[in-house]
Amino acid sequence: MSCVFRHGETACFCVFAEGLLSCSSHGRLCPSSSSISQRNNSSSAKLIVDHDQTTGVAVMHMQSPPVNSLSLDFLTEICITLEKLEMDKGCRGLIITSNQPKVFSAGLDILEMYGKSPERCGEFWKAVQEMWLKLYGSNMVTIAAINGSSPAGGCLMSMTCDYRIMADNPRYSIGLNETMLGIVAPFWFKETMVNTVGHRNTEMSLELGLLYKPAEALKIGLVDQLVPEDQVLSAATQTMTKWLAIPEHARQITKSMMRKPTIDKLCSNREADIQNFVSFITKESIQKSLRMYMEMLKQKKA
């Protein structure tokens, strides 16, 4: 597992050992038990982190081909990176973006939910929870620079951020489309959306599995700003400057006040939520739905 950290002009390559996911139960983190060692090979890196020490802003570029789908490995890598940034006092803001063309993230890796053992499904779901807890509970200012489509888990990831800027390209879409796969968005996906776009919009979105074009997403408040595609990152950087000018302690406490009830709810139900997921996803009827959805994706491509 590896990621590339770039500090200012100097790039350094770090590899983290496994073992984070048992460490913390939510975003504000206990010290990491993972070890860090130096490595000069970045060829398998799925994440590039550009950390500008002068501004205190890190940009996390996802580059897990072809579509940044969130596999167990990728989720673990993201969690380890988030933990490292969260603990770094020199990092106050995080921008999340994609290095893959046309896609921010295709959401959870469907192959992690198809034909896998209950144990493996449980491990996967724990990693999904962990990523959400780390992002939703982050003390950093977080901005999603959505430079491509962002369905399901990709939309969830965006919604955990404090602010969302999307490329104004009608070929892209964003939303929680779980029902289209024959699956049900868990309560904390639902609550993240309610906290973002309100109850009525969430109800419609989730029941119909809606994927919104950027202009529609802006209209319901699923994203905060649209900009031309080549300006997504620069707009995120500009917005970050404004957010970082707010007195930090007051902003952090306010964020926590807004999000804590939802975070606490998952924290006190983690094991039950894992069990729910495992028993749901391993059902024969759900496995069939996932298989049909994957076939549909392939046909669409053909």
d(CA 175, CA 177): 6
Tell me the CA distances in angstroms from 43 to 13, 20, 78, 97, 168, one per residue in order.
10, 23, 17, 19, 31
The Cα–Cα gap between 52 and 245 comes to 16
User: Is the CB of 64 or the CB of 142 nearer to ligand CO8?
Assistant: 64
Angle between helices 284-301 and 270-281 (to 10 degrees): 70
Q: Output the six-digit token pair for 108.
A: 């959870």
| Least distance CB 13 / ligand CO8 (angstroms) | 27
- Please confirm, yes or no, whether 83 is among the known catalytic residues: no
Contact 230, 128 (CB under 8 A): no
Q: Give the contact letters, 61-80, x = binds to ligand CO8 (CB under 6 A), - = no.
A: -----xx-x-----------
Q: Which of 36, 111, 215, 253 binds ligand CO8 (CB under 6 A)?
A: 111
Q: List C-alpha distances in Å: 50 to 56, 64, 121, 301.
A: 10, 17, 32, 33
186 binds ligand CO8 (CB under 6 A): yes
Asked whether position 206 contacts ligand CO8 by CB under 6 A, the answer is no
Q: Which of 107, 122, 148, 153 is catalytic?
A: 153
Q: Is 184 in the site for ligand CO8 (CB under 6 A)?
A: yes
27 binds ligand CO8, rule: CB under 6 A: no
Of all residues in the shown chain, the one whose CB is closest to ligand CO8 is: 107
Q: Is 108 a catalytic residue?
A: yes
Sign of the torsion formed by the C-alpha atoms of 266, 147, 78 and 259: negative
Q: Which is nearer to ligand CO8, 257 or 302 (CB)?
A: 302
CB 68 to ligand CO8: min, Å = 8
178 is catalytic: yes
**Counting contacts by CB under 6 A, is residue 106 touching ligand CO8?**
yes
Residue from 45, 48, 108, 223 in contact with ligand CO8 (CB under 6 A):
108
Q: Which of 108, 133, 176, 206 is catalytic?
A: 108
| Residue 277 binds to ligand CO8 (criterion: CB under 6 A) | yes
Residue number, 93 or 148, with CB nearest to ligand CO8: 148
Q: Which alpha helices (DSSP H) does 137-269 contain, by range?
A: 153-159, 187-197, 199-208, 214-220, 232-244, 248-267
CA 130 – CA 278 distance, rounded (Å): 16
Phi and psi at residue 94, in whole multiples of 5°? -130, 125
Residues that bind ligand CO8 (CB under 6 A): 66-67, 69, 102-103, 106-111, 149, 151-153, 177-178, 181, 183-184, 186, 277, 280-281, 297-298, 301
- List, by residue number, the catalytic residues: 108, 153, 177-178
